[in-house]
Homo-oligomer: A and B are copies of this chain.
Amino acid sequence: MHFALRSSGLMAAGLACRAAASCRARAPTFHRGSLRPIHTPVFSATAHFCQSKQRKDYALPNPSWSQDMVAQFNRYMEMTKDGTWKRLPSYRNFLDHMPESMVQEHAENGNRENRMFLRNTDEEGKGFEYVMFVNSSEKKMVCVFQPGPYLEGPPGFAHGGSIATMLDSTLGGCAILAAGRVMTANLNVNYKNPVPLGSVVLVETKVDKIEGRKLLISGQVRSIDGETLHTEATGERSTVLQA
């Protein structure tokens, strides 16, 4: 196997950029409508570094976010205040997630014109709108997800592949959190109820077990009121031996 870091790339990237994740924990709370911060964010030197690279962080509210989406964002942002949870930034290109020291390592296969699969649409709100939060001590990751109209499977509902994609990415984040570099070995998805386009769901994942180089992880996609289980999944990842 010539390859170090498979589909977990998105989350790997988010987690790798610890400096950015740290600065983004200061991201402000938003009210839908104005979509303006209700407190003045205090930008650190790290934040300035993030901005200076002129990469857009897509894991922040935009006008396409519904009231439910903004409310969930704010709820988790509240939980970042004591450091238990952290918001992960999300950029369009893989390399933008990397601190400079790691870019060189991935430059061979990377291409600035490529786009992360989950950030491949041009218009806000049309594709994957999401923000991920990580709880390191509990090895949990949550994704607040609003599927847009370009993710359609059957009329009015998200394609099962888009749900699998969101689960794969969030489960991958969990595994990386626990073990560093990993490769996906298995993704097993049980579909219970379809997810309507434009709705907001929570993708909740956790590490269940670590057996040597093997990590067992699991997750669910639920409605924000917790009443509807849309999808559940288990996954297996293998850690990658460092050179």
Identify the A interface with B (CB < 8 A): 1, 3-10, 12, 94-95, 106, 108-111, 113-118, 120-122, 126-127, 149-166, 168-169, 172, 183-191, 193-194, 197
Contacts and interface: CB of A to CB of B under 8 A. Distances in A.
Given A157-B3, A159-B165, A169-B161, A114 B188 contact: no
B185 A190 contact: yes
B117 A120 contact: no
A184 to B, nearest CB: 5
Contacts of A7: 153-154, 159-161, 163, 191
Contacts of A193: 1, 3
A118 B4 CA distance: 27
Copies in the complex: 2
A115 B149 contact: yes
B190 A189 contact: no
A189 B187 contact: yes
A108 B196 CA distance: 13
B9 A152 contact: yes
Given A7-B153, A109-B154, A154-B9, A114 B197 contact: yes
